[in-house]
Amino acid sequence: MAKESVFGNCAICGKHKQLAFGHVPPQSAFNECPAVGIAMWELINRDPDHYFEERRRISQRGVGDYTLCKQCDNDTGSWYGEAFAKWAHQGMEILDRVQGEATFFYPFRIYPLRVIKQIVVMFFSIRDWRFAYSHPDVVQFVLNRNERYLNPDIHIYAFLNISGCSRYIEGASRMVMNPAEINRDSIMEMNRTASAAIAKGRALSEIACRPLGYVMSFDPTPPDDRLSDISHFAEYSYSDWIPLYVKLSSLPLGTYLPLDYRDHDQVERDAEKNRRDEGDNDAADEDKYTPISEHELPPSPYVMWRDK
C-alpha cells in the first residue's frame, strides 16, 4: 500500500506544503541502509551497552524524516548533495585508517561552500520551524546557492565519529553538567534549558553521523576544544573546488547526551566513581534511578541511530 502524503510546514521555507522524506545525511553519504532509532526518554538510566537491545523504530529508508517540502529538498539536494557525499566518502577513507582517538590535519579535495550548505540544510531538517523563522538570513544562505558568508553568530564544528552509531540532537543547552552525575533533576533541568534555547532559535544542535559528526553552536567558544570550526567553508564561492587540509579529531559517542565524547572505558570509570561517591545510600540510589517517563519530557526525536 502506498504511503499517504505528508503535509506540514517546511523546515526551511516555512510554507505549508507536501513534505518529502529527506535523508540526514544524504542517502549517498552512507545513509542507504535500514536504521534503528531510539528516543531520549528510552535511554535515560540505560547502560550504553544495551541501548539497542529493544528495537523501537525501524526506518527502512535510512535515517531521515518528512521535514522539507519537495522543492527545498530537491533544490538543495541537487545543488549540494553530490559535493557533500564526496566529502563524506573522503572522510570515510580517513576514518578507516584512524587508530583510536587522535587529532590531525587531513587532506580533502572538495567544494567547501556546497559542503557547509548541505550541513546547514541537515540542521534545518532536524529542527522545527522556529529556527527558520528566527534566522531568515540562514534560509537565504541555503536557498541561494551562490550566497556566501554564513551568519557570524553561527559556528559549524566537525569531528570524525569513530563509534558504530549516530546521535541526533535537535536542541541542547550548554549547561555545565558532569555526565557521570546524571539524575532526574539534572535531566529535567537540561530539557528546560534546552527548550528555552530552542524557542529562541539559538539552541546548540548536533548531528553525529558517520563518518563525520557536526555541531552547530551560537557561542564563539567551541563547546569542546577537540571540535574543529569549519565555518570558514562559507567564504568560498559555489564553483571553488580546492585542496584543503582540515583539522579533525576522532571522537567516540559515549552516551545519548549531547557533546559527550567519552569512550566506553571512561563511561564505565565515571559510573563506578559515581557509585562509590554515593556509597550504599539507598535513598540516593532511589532518587537517581527513578525512571523518567516519556510524559515528563517534551516531545523528543529519535536521538540514537545505528544500522539495522
Q: What is the pLDDT along the chain (308 residues), one digit of tens a residue?
A: 456 789 999 999 999 999 999 999 999 999 988 887 777 667 666 666 666 566 566 778 888 889 999 999 999 999 999 999 999 999 999 999 887 778 899 999 999 999 999 999 999 999 877 889 889 999 999 999 999 999 999 999 999 999 888 888 886 544 334 444 555 555 555 555 555 444 444 568 899 998 999 999 988 888 899 999 999 999 999 999 999 999 999 999 878 788 888 887 777 787 677 667 666 454 444 444 444 444 444 444 546 666 65
Give the whole-angstrom CA distance, residue 12 versus residue 130: 10
CA dihedral 296, 301, 303, 306 (to 10 degrees): 130
- DSSP H or E segment with residue 194: helix 184-199
Report the predicted TM-score, pTM, of the whole model to 2 decimal places.
0.82
Give the integer Cα–Cα distance in Å for 29 and 39: 23
Strands 166-172 and 302-307: antiparallel
pLDDT of residue 185: 58
Task: List beta partners, residue 247.
Answer: 105
State the DSSP string of 265-304.
HHHHHHHHHHHHHHTT-HHHHHHHT----GGGS----EEE
Q: Which amino acid is at 264?
A: H
Which cell is 290 given? 527513578
The strand pair at 242-251 and 155-161 is best described as parallel
Q: Supply the DSSP string of 16-61, one letter for each residue.
A: EEEEEEEESS-TTTT--S-EEEEEHHHHTT--GGGTTSS--EEETT
Supply the pLDDT for residue 233.
Answer: 98
Provide the grid cell at 196: 528555552
Distance CA 39, CA 303 (A): 5
Per-residue model confidence (pLDDT) at position 294? 41
